[in-house]
Structure 1
Amino acid sequence: MASDASAQCHYQTVVLGAEELCGGAQPASMFPWSLNEFGQVVGDFACGIGFSRPFVWRGDGPLVEVPVPLDFQSGTAFDISEGGTIVGGLMIGGGRFKGPVGFLFADRVMTVLEPLPGGDTVCAHAVNDAQQVVGFWGDTGSGSPLSGSMAFLWDDGVMLDLAPDLGTMSSDAYDINDAGQVVGWMGVSILLDGRAFIWDDGVVIDLGPVPDGVSSFAFAINDVGQVVGQGQVPEDGTTFGRGRGFLWDNGAMSSVGVLPGFENSRATDVNNRCLVVGTCWGGSPTSGYVWHDGVMHDLNDLTSSPERITDVSGVNDSGSILARLGGNGVALLVPIDPPAADVTGDCAVDHRDLQFVIDAWGRSESVGDLDGDGEVGFGDLLRVLSGWTAP
């Protein structure tokens, strides 16, 4: 059922200060990659024409650089856990996404993640609260049997190659939830035949292509097991078709659609309330969106941002959204005065919140635990009913 547009949250734009990154000058480029439940943010920046460097924002003050070892010239921070552990990739000779090694930065100590035997490349994409890390490893050498990428899971100093379980030539792991479920893509070509997957303790679920499409690749999984990503839908006159963001929930994949005036979409993150965020592009300047219960909203219509919201990277359970601004800035979009009993994150308390509490009945560590007693139950049901805002 579609949400009433009038109930959709509006957002305050909090621009994160970058003045300390480049000696008082605005960075030449910036990209935010992830935020955690405490609103801490990581990403990368570059000063002038220099190499990219990782940054972190701990919730107050300006953005600061994550220290990169002297042996490396550049790096990117891709994810930050609830405990503040940061993971990403480091490069010796430049370049943004692939580095010879991945890294884990915790308690001011940088741990380099070495590739498996025969490889020379590791990049860490995500980390959970148990400091389990996922990403890809491989060999950058042309003609090598390991050329390309293969998904891995790193746990307590041991790297596990997921390729034998996935059974494909190439793969990459983009996210891991607190249950240890891993998502990413597997296949030969991410756009042509890639398939989004869930890896769960050796068991692999192929999520299939997006509706009417030929491929899929997963960017994020929440603690409920819902997955978001992108796939390609064929269209005459295009090489790879059009991108379509998707939500996979309990065995069913659905497209999130695309904003009017745009040609492509991707879904980059989903929180535990099934609030989906992402980006639309093609046909107009790129634009960030928020999607819930079948309805997509342009975030530029829901904020008073002084600059256009061009990309969206993440959303946490409080509903705060991590965005990139058109003028090369980074911002948090914070919901304005959401009702206390709004568990679905749409700034209304209605049948959706009631259904959420019923579905989460008896669970612990759920956003449906409104009274904070450690379990979803009658107290939470009463809070939804007493906070009802629907007509």
Structure 2
Amino acid sequence: MKRIMLSAVLSAFVVVFCLTGASAAGYNVTYLTTPAGFKSPKLMAINAFGVIAGTAQDNSGHTYAFVWERDGSVRELAMPAGYISCGIHDMNGLGQCAGYATDILGNGHAIAWDKDGTPRDLGALDGVYSVARSINAHGQIAGWSGAEDGSVHAMIWDMAGNVTDLGQAQGWGWSRAQGINDYGQVAGAFGDSTLSAFKLTGSSVKILGTRIDPGNSEAIALNSCGDAIVALSGLGKTPVLWKESGPNVPLDGLDSDIVFAWSINDADQVVGWRQLPSGIPPFPANHAIVWDSIGRATDINPAGMTSSIAYDINNNGRIVGTCSNGVNNYAVVWTPVPEPSCCLATGLGLLVLWMRKRRN
């Protein structure tokens, strides 16, 4: 009986190990429901709890904001009064969202939605335009606003209505804030003739771009470790993972010269997309891509799809974005499949527990 039991456990372990090993280092792909009456869905943000925010278009081409709950249900966020289109760029763990809305004349304002879906117009300098790009766990929002004199200012808003003009406070002629982490660190770019990526901690500014490239640079996103994605201008210049501690990591695009890195999690995993090189039909087309913390790239374009873009990745490694088969667009979620090594460790652990139980 003991031999039979041990044999059964070992056999079960081998079966589990072999089955999961077949899709090692890959992703399970899920297509979420497109809201009824809408098309062209894009999943823009996923929080730590797996709640997803994004957009979809009506037949007139107007964009609306939606939230996909964990149970699969979809709810529309309220359109801010006076606007005809709106969209989301980011969402925090509380379900608060940050994005934008545009009126019939094409003027846009930064918008924040509370967790119940109530929108708040964050306003703009001189009433010109503004964009909300990132929101942290405390409801602080990073973005930028245009002024009447043509300048652009990095801005920080919060859900209580407080506004900070970072561009004015730092004396920058042109600036914008792209990311804000849970510690209040802000990343973006500033400059006049040449833009430099920056990270702001309190009132202390660290210039990131000059450590990487003398040309134009901009920090696109920031994680809670203070590591940032830095984009560089110029064909063939791929993005860089700038690390607070340790060397910078180039984010190469496999065989592509045009690469966009868009989001980063606290494990320094980065997602974005690459434009396929000429000669690979259909052209131009994008493929979603994920990089690990040391810059190894994986193309995660779903089978049967001609194009895809990855917009966000959470700390569980789940990725959201959009994809197309050349006819229709789909809201897509990539869920990482456990590595075989993880299954091996789990299986060995179960075996050890069983043997201890037998001895007792």
Q: TM-score, normalised by structure 1?
A: 0.73
Aligned pair partner of 2:154 in 139, 151, 154: 151
Q: Which residue of 2 aligns with 1:102?
A: 111
Say whether residues 1:315 and 2:313 are aligned partners.
yes
Is the CA contact 2:250–2:295 (under 8 Å) kept in the aligned structure 1? Answer: no
Q: Which residue of 1 aligns with 2:95?
A: 84
Is the CA contact 1:73–1:94 (under 8 Å) kept in the aligned structure 2? Answer: no
Is the CA contact 1:229–1:266 (under 8 Å) kept in the aligned structure 2? Answer: no
Q: Which residue of 2 aligns with 1:135?
A: 143
List gaps (5 residues or longer) in structure 1.
Answer: 1-5, 234-240, 350-382, 387-391
Is the CA contact 2:196–2:218 (under 8 Å) kept in the aligned structure 1? Answer: yes
Q: Which residue of 1 aligns with 2:240?
A: 246
Is the CA contact 2:249–2:295 (under 8 Å) kept in the aligned structure 1? Answer: no
Q: Which residue of 2 aligns with 1:36?
A: 47
Is the CA contact 1:299–1:309 (under 8 Å) kept in the aligned structure 2? Answer: no
Amino acid at match of 1:74: S
Using the TM superposition, name which of 266-275 and 306-315 deviates more.
306-315
Q: Where do 1:146-185 residues align within 5 Å?
A: 147-155=150-158, 156-185=160-189
Aligned-partner SS, 2:233: strand
Amino acid at match of 1:246: V
Is the CA contact 2:44–2:54 (under 8 Å) kept in the aligned structure 1? Answer: yes
CA distance in 2, matches of 1:331, 1:80: 17
1:210 shift after superposition:
7.5
CA distance in 2, matches of 1:273, 1:161: 31
Q: Which residue of 1 aligns with 2:12?
A: none
CA distance in 2, matches of 1:56, 1:17: 11
Counting matched residue pairs gives 314
Aligned-partner SS, 1:59: coil
Aligned-partner SS, 2:230: strand
Q: Which residue of 2 aligns with 1:376?
A: none
Q: Which residue of 2 aligns with 1:278?
A: 272
- Relative to structure 1, the CA distance from residue 127 to residue 48 in structure 2 (aligned partners, 3 Å threshold; closer, same or farther) is same
Is the CA contact 1:165–1:204 (under 8 Å) kept in the aligned structure 2? Answer: no
Aligned pair partner of 1:9 in 16, 21, 25: 25
1:74 shift after superposition:
0.9
1:332 shift after superposition:
0.7
More helix, by proportion: 2
Higher relative contact order (CA 8 A, sep 6+): 2
Amino acid at match of 1:75: C
CA distance in 2, matches of 1:207, 1:216: 8
Identity across matched positions, percent: 25
- Relative to structure 1, the CA distance from residue 159 to residue 70 in structure 2 (aligned partners, 3 Å threshold; closer, same or farther) is closer
CA distance in 2, matches of 1:21, 1:204: 47
- Relative to structure 1, the CA distance from residue 331 to residue 209 in structure 2 (aligned partners, 3 Å threshold; closer, same or farther) is farther
Q: Which residue of 2 aligns with 1:125?
A: 133
Amino acid at match of 2:138: A
CA deviation vs aligned residue, 1:115-153 (integer Å, no higher than 9, x gap): 34x3432221111111111111123xxxx32x2421111
Using the TM superposition, name which of 99-108 and 194-203 deviates more.
99-108
- Please provide the CA RMSD for this pair: 2.7
1:94 shift after superposition:
5.8
1:31 shift after superposition:
2.7
CA distance in 2, matches of 1:160, 1:214: 28
Is the CA contact 2:24–2:338 (under 8 Å) kept in the aligned structure 1? Answer: no
1:249 shift after superposition:
0.2
Q: Where do 1:286-301 residues align within 5 Å?
A: 286-292=286-292, 293-300=294-301
Is the CA contact 2:78–2:118 (under 8 Å) kept in the aligned structure 1? Answer: no
Q: TM-score, normalised by structure 2?
A: 0.79
CA distance in 1, matches of 2:70, 2:93: 12
CA deviation vs aligned residue, 1:23-56 (integer Å, no higher than 9, x gap): xxxx1x3333221112222222212233212122
CA distance in 2, matches of 1:59, 1:309: 26
Is the CA contact 1:127–1:133 (under 8 Å) kept in the aligned structure 2? Answer: yes
Amino acid at match of 1:229: V
CA distance in 1, matches of 2:297, 2:240: 12
